[in-house]
Amino acid sequence: MATRVLSTEEAKTAIRQIQSIVNGGFTDQITNLDTQGRVLSDPNVWDGPLAETFRNGTWPETKSALDNAKQQLEELRNQLDRISQDIFTAGGGA
């Protein structure tokens, strides 16, 4: 049974667009969110009942989600490098 290999211009464009988004600062924005969340988590900066809820619940959950997203983006970046190489090779490097 033959294995189908297809590399369309649409596939190449989609890979480049995703790479551009990931490499274009999306992970930097996650880092910036983390920095600001840590600032708001400091009781010397913001305190009170809502601040405590943020500090003890909202922020730890959000930070965990951001850390996971950043890790997933790094994995996506690595996969995209492999995928794009396969696509460009299948398409004759065009």
Confidence of residue 2 (pLDDT cuts 50, 70, 90): low
The whole-number pLDDT of residue 66 equals 93
The DSSP symbol for 44 reads T
- The answer to whether the beta carbons of residues 43 and 55 sit under 8 Å apart is yes
The whole-number pLDDT of residue 1 equals 64
pTM of the model: 0.72
pLDDT digits (tens, 9 = 90+) for 28-66: 899 899 999 999 999 999 999 999 999 999 999 999 999
- The answer to whether the beta carbons of residues 69 and 29 sit under 8 Å apart is no
Counting beta carbons within 10 angstroms of the beta carbon of residue 72, is it exposed (0 to 12), middle (13 to 18) or buried (19 or more)?
A: exposed
Stretch 13-17: mean pLDDT: 87
The whole-number pLDDT of residue 56 equals 97
Structure tokens at 20: 């551009």
